[in-house]
A = this chain, B = another copy of it.
Amino acid sequence: MRADAQRNRDRIVEVARALFRAKGFDAVSMDEVAKGAEVGPGTLYRHFPTKESLYDAVLEAWAGKVNAAVDRALSLDASARERLLTWLTEYAAMLTEHKGAAARITAALGDPGSPFAAKCTTYVNANQRLIDGLDSALRPGVEAIQISRLVGGVAAVVDNSELPADSMAPMLAIVADGLLAP
């Protein structure tokens, strides 16, 4: 990639990250991103053929954080319930870090054609590692993608309704208790 192209790409992602974080996916227009990055719309679309692919680039850094978080939670010296709740809380917090991300990522969970497919795999794998790590403490038969969807659903609701972050805690506690063996 030519140096000017790389510079433009970097600037676009940086501007887009700030805008998406502040206003949410829907409220940001591509023109706005282009103007902010001081490029024409054509240049923006050369780098990112759709708005979602731009969003994907913005979310790029997340995947690594997810695996770190599940490791941290599993290695805690605490009860299964506490470790589970720690992870669910961190997972939900990451999903609500950018407005609109929770619903989009969660909706794409089972769709290999989605631009977020790679991120979805990361999330589901993290939950699978959680299941393996907590082992018999969880109810039998629970699947990683169900956990991903439950927490994603809660995060999406809180995000959409613009609720304070701490309103998630009681709902995550309900989910956690439901996930533990009856």
A147: nearest residue on chain B (CB-CB)? B174
Contact in complex: B142, A149 (CB < 8 Å): no
Q: How many residues of A sit at the interface, in one of the four size bands?
A: 20 to 34
Question: Separation in Å of the A72 CB from the closest CB of chain B?
Answer: 24
A163: nearest residue on chain B (CB-CB)? B110
Q: Which one of B110, B141, B154 contacts A149 once the chains associate, using CB atoms below 8 Å? A: B154
Contact in complex: A156, B110 (CB < 8 Å): no
A175: nearest residue on chain B (CB-CB)? B178
In whole angstroms, how far apart are the Cα atoms of A157 and B149 in the complex?
Answer: 7
Q: How many copies does the complex hold?
A: 2
Q: In terms of DSSP, what is the predominant structure of the interface of chain A?
A: helix
Task: Knowing A153-B153, A154-B153, A161-B111, say if A142 contacts B106 (CB, 8 Å).
Answer: no
The residue in A108, A143, A182 that gathers the most chain B C-beta atoms within 10 A of its C-beta is A182
Hey, which chain B residues are within 8 Å of A149, CB to CB? Answer: 154, 157-158, 161, 171
A170: nearest residue on chain B (CB-CB)? B146
Question: Separation in Å of the A123 CB from the closest CB of chain B?
Answer: 13
A-B contact pairs, 13 of them (CB 8 A): A103-B160, A106-B161, A111-B161, A141-B170, A146-B174, A149-B154, A149-B158, A149-B161, A150-B153, A150-B154, A173-B178, A174-B175, A177-B182
Known: A141-B170, A174-B175. 9 other contacts (CB 8 A): A103-B103, A106-B157, A106-B161, A109-B157, A110-B161, A139-B174, A149-B171, A150-B174, A176-B178
